[in-house]
Chains A and B, each alone.
Chain A
């Protein structure tokens, strides 16, 4: 592809970034001067909306890539994954920070966000989630600090950080297990409100398994993005491993969902007619069955277009699931519908733009992809990958 076209694309995404951030900032000012009601469609019936469902539930879930990979590469000692540990850790760190930023905007009294540190209620799942998130973001920062030390040339610090890797990773994996599942436990308190298709005592387990699935899917997507953005060759065996584990986990997740629906006698409802059923079928069909049915065939998943597509579907199913649990599932009991306002959507987009911008910055200034060198993208290697529509780190 010609350098001119690359520049055009770059300019477009850069412009997009500034536009989204500008709109988002204006709306943030309105939110803080006029109250949540002025910019959101939240109401007494729907106290949780897009920001909780997407920015927090989905955001934290997508950050699951970090723990899936840290666990695989350090605990299961699969060295093959090490080259993508750093981008995954950076991505996860950004996902968590962005969830924190969104949460800050979402809660009514942003200045009180630190209260859980000193005001304890150990009976509250949200209290536990808050602590896990704080600690885990700290763990990710520790894990990522190696990059910073390397960049600054602090070899002693980098060495210490390196020696502490295994304890750091174990702490990270444990904390992730807890809060990924706890995001599901949040809804256990509402048996009378959440639709029985989604309300189950297995929510914590299902949230945990689906976080692993989406973590793997995100890694596949990320390898592809980084491959073509930085002129790296696809690491075919690595992608092969990831896709095999993804298929297995999707299978486990799909079976668990069906088994759970059957045990509770809700299978008929789930696959019947009606609004909730349709939303479930969309979530489950497109997000679990389709990627599983495609990727289960070794021939098909060897085609990386299909692999990439399958991963995208799995991410879609994950997003749908979280939205369904937090919003759709409540519509029957609460009456009416919740549709996010355009302001909510734009503020969400601002946060997403910040994540991509942050990733671009990190790639430019830190040794995230060590063997390509800092921020160099050889044009020759780029051409090998062909033309693609998007690439995350092009914002710089």
Chain B
């Protein structure tokens, strides 16, 4: 299966909350979809007000090179070939490093559970594998949340910008940022609230730690050799000193 993606188009979104409702219903979460202000262990997506009465969706971006998956010590989070980044409760040990690492602060934790899970959008991977759309994309009446193959979605985004260049800010959020994401955004103006910060650049975040981890074998080999050498030299020096003057050595070996 080709990797999938979701496009969220701020200009088309009327803020009706149907995506939030569909997601909550699918997962059996209770509550009023319109009252959901932030992501939580029982809200995998929510609408966030932007300036000029626009609304923007928040949800896991399903990064192409996800920081959360790269830091997980037991590989409980994985980027699937279908595109979604999913969590495996049989591996997770609850260190919450994924929450620290995610540049968009997406993962949520079940703080009041004795068997806590890491909670976030899974792009409805079960539905995708059945050949269906994610619940939120199916529920959207305005073509604001659309779903498809990632390359198709990118082409569609470009089409929309080309068709109405006056309405759209000429940038597809998530196309290249931190190595690309599988949830992308179109907006009428530059948006800060999405968390696509400039300082993050276009290199995948896992490279930051991979560069350091790569050095470990070198540190081990060179460090080991250096320590052995120092040990041998200092030992030799002592032996020489011992041979040269016995009384002095006695003084040292207090």
Which chain A residues have a beta carbon within 8 Å of chain B's beta carbons? Answer: 32-38, 40, 42-45, 47-48, 71, 74-77, 79-80, 107-110, 112-113, 115-116, 119-128, 130, 166, 170, 173-174, 177-178, 182, 185-186, 188-193, 201, 204, 330, 334
- The A-contacting residues of B in range 94-133, CB under 8 angstroms, are 94-97, 99-101, 103, 105, 107-116
B73 pairs with A188, CB closer than 8 A: no
Q: Tell which of B107, B112, B235 touches A77, judged by Cβ atoms closer than 8 Å.
A: B235
CB-based contact B230/A76 at 8 Å? yes
B230 contacts across to A, CB distance below 8 A = 75-76
Interface string of B61-99 (1 = CB under 8 A from A): 000000100111111100000000000000111111101
The answer, yes or no, to whether B162 is at the interface (CB within 8 Å) is no
CA distance A196 to B20 in the complex (A): 35
The answer to the question of B160 belonging to the interface, with a C-beta cut-off of 8 Å to chain A, is no
Residue of A nearest to B98 (CB): A47
- Cα-based distance from A35 to B115 in the complex (angstroms): 8
Query: Which B residues, 185 to 241, have Cβ-Cβ distances below 8 Å to chain A?
Result: 195, 197, 199-200, 205-206, 208-210, 212-213, 216, 219-220, 223-224, 227-228, 230-231, 234-235, 237-238
- Pairs across A and B, CB under 8 Å, 19 listed: A35-B114, A36-B116, A37-B111, A44-B105, A44-B107, A44-B108, A74-B231, A77-B235, A79-B253, A108-B109, A116-B93, A121-B70, A123-B71, A123-B209, A125-B209, A127-B74, A170-B227, A182-B212, A192-B195
User: Across the interface, which residues of A come within 8 angstroms of B223, CB to CB?
Assistant: 173-174, 177
| Distance, CA A122 to CA B94, complexed state (A) | 18
Minimum CB–CB distance for A116 against chain B, Å:
5
Question: Which of B200, B213, B224 is within 8 Å of A123, CB to CB?
Answer: B213
Which residues on A sit within 8 Å (CB–CB) of B155? none
User: By the criterion CB–CB under 8 Å, are B200 and A115 in contact?
Assistant: no
Q: Choose among A108, A119, A186, A330 the residue that contacts B116 (Cβ–Cβ < 8 A).
A: A108
User: Which among A35, A125, A166 is the interface contact of B113 at CB below 8 angstroms?
Assistant: A35
Using A35-B112, A38-B112, A77-B235 as known contacts, say yes or no to A174 and B220 having CB atoms under 8 A apart. yes
Given contacts A123-B213, A189-B209, contact A75 B234 (CB under 8 A): yes
Closest residue of chain B to A184 (Cβ to Cβ) is: B212
- From B72, B99, B220, B227, contact of A44 by CB (8 A): B99
Which residues of A are found within 8 Å of B212, using beta-carbon distances? Answer: 125, 182, 185, 188, 204
- A109/B231 in contact, CB under 8 A: no
Say whether B243 faces chain A, with CB atoms less than 8 Å apart: no
Q: Is the CB of A127 within 8 A of B73?
A: yes
Residues of chain A with a CB closer than 8 A to B234's CB: 75-77
B12 in the interface, Cβ–Cβ < 8 Å? no
Known contacts A123-B70, A170-B227, A174-B224; is-contact A35 B95 (Cβ 8 Å)? no
Q: Which of A38, A80, A193, A201 lies in contact with B103, CB distance below 8 A?
A: A193
Q: Is the interface of A mostly helix, strand, loop or mixed?
A: helix
- A124 contacts which of B70, B100, B238 (Cβ < 8 Å)? B70
User: Closest Cβ of chain B: how far from A284's Cβ, in Å?
Assistant: 23
Q: Which residues of B contact A191 (CB under 8 A)?
A: 199-200, 205, 208
For B114, give its contact among A33, A75, A76, A107 (CB under 8 Å): A33
Residue pair B116, A80 in contact (C-beta under 8 Å): no
Contact A177–B75 (Cβ < 8 Å): no
Q: Whole-angstrom distance from the CB of B225 to the nearest CB of chain A?
A: 10
Across the interface, do A122 and B72 meet the contact criterion of CB distance under 8 Å?
Answer: no
* Interface assignment of B1: CB less than 8 Å from any CB of chain A: no
Q: Are B200 and A48 in contact (CB under 8 A)?
A: no
B231 touching A75 by the CB < 8 A rule? yes
Given A35-B110, A189-B71, are A174 and B227 neighbors across the interface (CB < 8 Å)?
yes
Chain B CB count within 10 A is highest, among A38, A40, A108, for A108
Residues in B neighbouring A120, C-beta threshold 8 A: 74-75
* Bound-complex Cα distance A116 to B105 (A): 24
B206 contacts A34, C-beta separation under 8 Å: no
Residues of A within 8 A of B101 (CB): 189-190
A128-B216 contact in complex given A75-B230, A109-B94, C-beta closer than 8 Å: yes
- Name the CB-closest residue of B to A334: B105
- Assess whether A190 is in contact with B108, with CB atoms less than 8 Å apart: no
Q: Separation in Å of the A365 CB from the closest CB of chain B?
A: 27
Q: How far is the CB of B65 from chain A (nearest CB, A)?
A: 10
User: Closest 5 CB pairs between A and B?
Assistant: A108-B94, A37-B111, A77-B234, A47-B96, A47-B99
Residues of A near B51 (CB, < 8 A) are none
- Give the interface centre of A71, A186, A190 by most chain B CB atoms within 10 Å: A190
- CB of B131, distance to nearest CB on chain A (Å): 31
Contact B97 A126 (CB under 8 A): yes
B206–A189 contact, CB under 8 A?
Answer: yes
**Nearest B residue to A182 by beta-carbon distance?**
B212
Query: B92 to A112, Cβ gap below 8 A?
Result: yes
**Closest Cβ neighbor of A42 among chain B residues:** B111
Q: Chain A residue with minimal CB distance to B75? A: A121
Pick from B92, B108, B209, B254: contact of A185, CB below 8 A: B209
User: Which chain B residues lie closer than 8 Å to A185 at the CB level?
Assistant: 209, 212-213
Cβ contact within 8 Å between A119 and B75: yes
Question: Given A32-B114, A36-B111, A44-B99: A192 and B75 within 8 A (CB)?
Answer: no
Chain A residue numbers with a CB within 8 Å of B67 are 189
Known: A44-B40, A173-B227. A122 touches B238 (CB 8 A): no
Q: What separation, in Å, do the CA atoms of A293 and B63 have in the docked complex? A: 48
Query: Among the listed B91, B96, B254, which residue makes an inter-chain contact with A80, where contact means beta carbons less than 8 Å apart?
Result: B254
A341 to chain B, nearest CB (A): 12
A75 to B209, CA, bound (A): 30
Q: How many angstroms between the C-alpha atoms of A95 and B219 in the bound complex?
A: 25
Which residues does chain B contribute within 8 Å of A186, judged by CB atoms?
97
Are A124 and B113 in contact (CB-based, < 8 A)?
Answer: no
Residue contact A47 to B109, C-beta cutoff 8 Å = yes
Give the residues in chain A near B200, CB-CB below 8 Å: 191-192
CB nearest neighbor in B for A131: B73
Q: Which residue of B lies closest to A44 (CB)?
A: B108
**Contact: B91 with A170, CB < 8 Å?**
no
